[in-house]
Amino acid sequence: AQKVTQAQTEISVVEKEDVTLDCVYETRDTTYYLFWYKQPPSGELVFLIRRNSFDEQNEISGRYSWNFQKSTSSFNFTITASQVVDSAVYFCALGVFSGGYNKLIFGAGTRLAVHP
Amino acid sequence: DTEVTQTPKHLVMGMTNKKSLKCEQHMGHRAMYWYKQKAKKPPELMFVYSYEKLSINESVPSRFSPECPNSSLLNLHLHALQPEDSALYLCASSQKDRPGGNSPLHFGNGTRLTVT
């Protein structure tokens, strides 16, 4: 089965706190991709990062960092020194090739509220 | 600003109306997608076009009719919709649609559809 689990439905933090969004995935494929998307209240899905299954290096981009661990099938996302503008729903997604096309399997999403 | 443009942003239609959603991208992407997103849920794939041909129809009812007039445009024609079809309809595009080429999807802002 191919599945993405984001166990945290909602997280509420105060500005400047660090916050980690969890993502656990399941797949039998050896080649796959993992993504994080941000969906602010305006509605669009904003691409944040893509990792392939062969690259376990962690990545940092400004206040954002990602921790990919194949051993635990996790791809967690940390926001350092959170800001009100980080308030959004964050989706983790698994990209696999299935049925003849690239398929994106989304987790249920984590709603992050950052309060001033 | 998103590079995938969707119009209109909001649409209210009756169950007997015929309307169309439009999507445009100028990134040279050859795969385009329609997703449907209900409130507090992740996006669900409806259709995939690859090189202007319909590749995937995820068992979508015939009252939704996609069309890809050229590599930059994607339409979704709506007819005889039901109130439960009310949702955010997201268009996306990506560079590749083949094995090992799991390019990130770039999403538009979406059209928020209300069926009365």
The distance of B67 to chain A (nearest Cα, Å) reads: 19
**Mean of pLDDT values over A13-40:** 95
If you search the block for the tokens 């964050």, which residue do you land on? A90
Dihedral sign for Cα atoms in the order B77, A102, B106, B68: negative
Cross-chain CB nearest to B102 (options A43, A102, A106) = A102
The pLDDT value recorded for residue A34 is: 93
Contacts of A106 in chain B (CB under 8 A): 42-43
B76 touches chain A (CB under 8 A): no
The span from the CA of A40 to the CA of B4, in Å, is 16
Residue B96 confidence (pLDDT) above 80 = no
Closest by Cα among B87, B34, B23, B7 to A104: B34
Q: Give the number of other CB atoms < 10 A from CB of residue A80.
A: 14
Closest by Cα among A98, A97, A18 to A63: A18
The SS3 call for residue B84 is helix
Cross-chain CB nearest to A44 (options B2, B48, B56) = B2
Chain-centre distance of CA B113, in angstroms? 12
* Confidence band for B103, pLDDT divided at 50, 70 and 90: confident
The pLDDT value recorded for residue B61 is: 96
The distance of A44 to chain B (nearest Cα, Å) reads: 4
Longest dimension (CA), chain A: 47
Q: What is the mean pLDDT of chain B?
A: 91
Query: Taking CA A75 as the corner, what is the angle to CA B25 and CA B3, rounded to the nearest 5 degrees?
Result: 10
**Mean of pLDDT values over B52-74:** 93
Q: Give the number of other CB atoms < 10 A from CB of residue A44.
A: 19
The distance of A62 to chain B (nearest Cα, Å) reads: 20
B98 touches chain A (CB under 8 A): yes
Please report the residues numbered 10 through 49 in chain B whose beta carbons come closer than 8 angstroms to any beta carbon of chain A.
Answer: 31, 40-43, 45, 48
The pLDDT value recorded for residue B98 is: 57
Closest by Cα among A15, A11, A21 to A81: A15
The span from the CA of A40 to the CA of A48, in Å, is 12
